[in-house]
Structure 1
Amino acid sequence: MRKAVNGIPPFKDKKLHIQNLQFEDVTVRLYQPKVPATKPRKGILFFHGGIGMWGSIDSYERVCRFLARESDSVVVSVGYRLSPEYPYPRQFKDCLVATIHFMKNAEDYGVDPECIVISGDSLGGTFTAAVCQELVKRTDVPKVRAQILLYPFLQAIDFNLPSHQQNRFVPPFFQRIIVEAGVQYLGKSKSVAKELRKGSHIPEDMKMKLRSWISPDVIPKEFKLRGYKPPPPAVFSPEIHQQVKEAFDTIFSPLLADVDIVQQLPEMFILTCEYDVLRDEGLLYKKRLEDEGVPVTWYHLADGFHGAIFSIDMPLLSLSCAKSGVDRVVNFVKGL
């Protein structure tokens, strides 16, 4: 799977200077426009997707080249170490270490330290949200200018949201596959995934506490037109709850962050896709940040699916929805 995701390397890029570096003990790839800049450039950290077990710097080479060229920014693609060789939460820690190193040394790469954007897709979007939440607690680094979340995974509370029901069998990532892979990423047996999908891991008091943040009632009506049926009540299992307690950490479920953290977050661009199991997670996080006064730019791909941007700049395979989505990201960065 890892080899297949990496794909065929693209040709050399005449417009970019590309080099592999180490930020502390984390491998990164730096993309710098060759055209001399009249002032420090914006910096973009990019965390790739892959449910923590696959994906790499190589597999997102085209995405990062596109971002660097089109937004005239310095892009750092973070090669965090993968599970199961490096158990959870090593992946988040690598992203955090690389981010702090870059922010402290941004000027060495021609980047304005006050204009650094953190971004990622899928689980990389999870890392983006979690790193931004962690950095609001710190005073030893500049403030993050903005965050970009592309169809992110953000919560492990409700796997029966409308988008989970509507897109359960939409390729390439069926709902069952995403939940099972997420459980394995946490180092748990995928046998507990079935109970998570039913909701047996959530006690009733937690459901009530989180109802205003994570509930089908929060999803706009237009996203239920393709159908939604409230699931039968799940029987709470203390044993399952204990087995997956890491799923409630905010580095795995950023939607559960405390209000005082959310209020301090940088402005956000969020991309959602109609044919994506995780669509509603983006909608919930969007509303949560807006409710706390955080500026949000939202773009919805009505013809998009999970992993869509992966096809950007691929010969013969590049999709119009990928180009549309990444163009919006570029415009957002340029407008900062």
Structure 2
Amino acid sequence: MRVTNHCWSQSNLVHFFGFSHHLRVLNFVSGYMSKLDAESCDNVKVTDTVFDGVQIRIFDPIEKRDKTLKRGVIYLHGGGWTLEGARMRTYDQLCRAVAEGVNAVVVSVEYRILPDVHFPEQLNDALHATKYFLQPDVLAKWSVDPNRIALSGDSSGGNLAAAVCQQLIQDGNAVSKIKLQALIYPVLQVLDFNTPSYQQNMDMPILRRFLMAKFWLHYLNGNSKYVEPMLVNNHTSFDVSQAVALRERLNWSSILPSGIQKHFKPVVQTVGTPELIQEVPAIFDVRASPLIAEKESLKLMPKTYILTCEYDVLRDDGLMYAKRLEDAGVEVTNDHYEDGFHGCMIFADWPLYFSVGARTRDNYIKWLDENL
């Protein structure tokens, strides 16, 4: 979700004058001169293809470390369910690095985006592409070991990866198991915009709280007029019956350690905005908010890696998911960066280089290599 306030303002201006939908403009501006063709190099063969109607870019390491089958990583890019990613320079670089560093065939999924489709179509694309890749004949074609496959994604892609993983576990027709899930600063819930990290980092550059709420409303096909009610948690007020059980699963005052909670207090309204719930019923859909899954479902999740950053509104989404998974008996690695910010992993190469970007990418690849 690496979107600058300047790009967002430009896109809103074009939308205001009726030239184009502002999300299309946003995607064009962010992707201008940034999309790459499928160019192979000495170490990685890059191929554009289609899996069950979904656009895919595959990164296949050319030189094997040994004669065994390669590992597989299904990658779902971020961008607020709005920005194309698989062909963007930043994701192309990341997937090449993963393919080389892990000796893995990386399947980067170019799922359909806003405003052309809304929830659950992005998830459906990700799920269909994943199931297609997991077929024995497809894995054999790419020389991938069916027992060594990871599902991964960042930001909104982390949301899709977690949701796909939950869907696969419940699907008896899944032809192969996911060994690992690796989530990079994932967005995992739409019910509480006043977690400590949302309050602490509400105006932090790269991803402000207001912008995240707008992304959510676009994704769930709701009207942007509900941004302000959502920011004060009117959609999970005491008079909303659907929120009662779910609120306990998001009770960060009991889930998060006191050092994370700091001086922040929960925000729960007595009376909410009922029309918001009526017009955006997907707010309570577990496929949109994987964090609110029942404990019985979480018990079936695979070994998990969750990367979180201190200066990120989504920090506590990741921390709470890690704790809920651990409480359900899942082995979890929480890789937290005190100097990290949302989207930092893409700033790992010149000219957009931050040391924390390089460290997050290197440690993510190292974890995959050691555990997959």
For 1:3 and 1:61, locate their aligned partners in 2 and report how far apart those are by CA, in whole Å.
17
* Conserved? CA contact 2:233–2:267, under 8 Å: no
SS at match of 2:352: coil
For 1:210 and 1:182, locate their aligned partners in 2 and report how far apart those are by CA, in whole Å.
18
**2:108 corresponds to 1:95:** no
Aligned counterpart for 2:74 among listed residues 22, 45, 59: 45
Deviation at 1:235, TM superposition (A): 1.9
Quickly say closer, same or farther: Cα 1:95–1:13, change in 2 above 3 A.
Answer: same
Q: Which residue of 2 aligns with 1:201?
A: 235
* Conserved? CA contact 2:40–2:46, under 8 Å: no
Deviation at 1:306, TM superposition (A): 0.8
**2:152 corresponds to 1:116:** no
Deviation at 1:213, TM superposition (A): 2.2
Q: Which residue of 2 aligns with 1:274?
A: 310
- Cα deviation, 1:167-211, whole Å, max 9, x if unaligned, reads 000011110011012101221111111111111112425554234
For 2:308 and 2:344, locate their aligned partners in 1 and report how far apart those are by CA, in whole Å.
10
Q: Which residue of 2 aligns with 1:13?
A: 41
Q: Which residue of 2 aligns with 1:331?
A: 366
SS at match of 1:99: helix
Deviation at 1:100, TM superposition (A): 0.4
Corresponding residue pairs, total = 334
* Conserved? CA contact 1:5–1:55, under 8 Å: no
**2:334 corresponds to 1:298:** yes
- Cα deviation, 1:222-245, whole Å, max 9, x if unaligned, reads 2234x4244363522222211221
- Cα deviation, 1:76-133, whole Å, max 9, x if unaligned, reads 0000011111232211000001100111121210110111100000010010110000
Deviation at 1:154, TM superposition (A): 0.6
Quickly say closer, same or farther: Cα 1:324–1:234, change in 2 above 3 A.
Answer: farther
Aligned counterpart for 1:142 among listed residues 128, 153, 176: 176
For 1:303 and 1:234, locate their aligned partners in 2 and report how far apart those are by CA, in whole Å.
37
Aligned counterpart for 1:77 among listed residues 108, 111, 124: 108
* Conserved? CA contact 1:165–1:228, under 8 Å: yes
Q: Which residue of 2 aligns with 1:237?
A: 273
For 1:74 and 1:119, locate their aligned partners in 2 and report how far apart those are by CA, in whole Å.
13
SS at match of 2:112: coil
Q: Which residue of 1 aligns with 2:5?
A: none
The 10-residue stretch of structure 1 (283-292 or 321-330) with the greater mean CA deviation from structure 2: 321-330
Deviation at 1:216, TM superposition (A): 3.0
For 1:108 and 1:127, locate their aligned partners in 2 and report how far apart those are by CA, in whole Å.
25
- Cα deviation, 1:40-75, whole Å, max 9, x if unaligned, reads 111000000111111321221111111111111110
The 10-residue stretch of structure 1 (90-99 or 251-260) with the greater mean CA deviation from structure 2: 251-260
* Conserved? CA contact 1:158–1:215, under 8 Å: no
For 1:212 and 1:231, locate their aligned partners in 2 and report how far apart those are by CA, in whole Å.
13
Aligned counterpart for 1:133 among listed residues 148, 158, 166: 166
**2:94 corresponds to 1:58:** no
Q: Which residue of 2 aligns with 1:31?
A: 59
Structure 1: 5+ residue runs without aligned partners?
none
- Percentage identity across paired residues of the two chains: 34
Structure 2: 5+ residue runs without aligned partners?
1-25
Quickly say closer, same or farther: Cα 1:117–1:232, change in 2 above 3 A.
Answer: closer
Give the aligned CA root-mean-square deviation in angstroms.
1.7
> Which amino acid is 1:306 matched to?
H
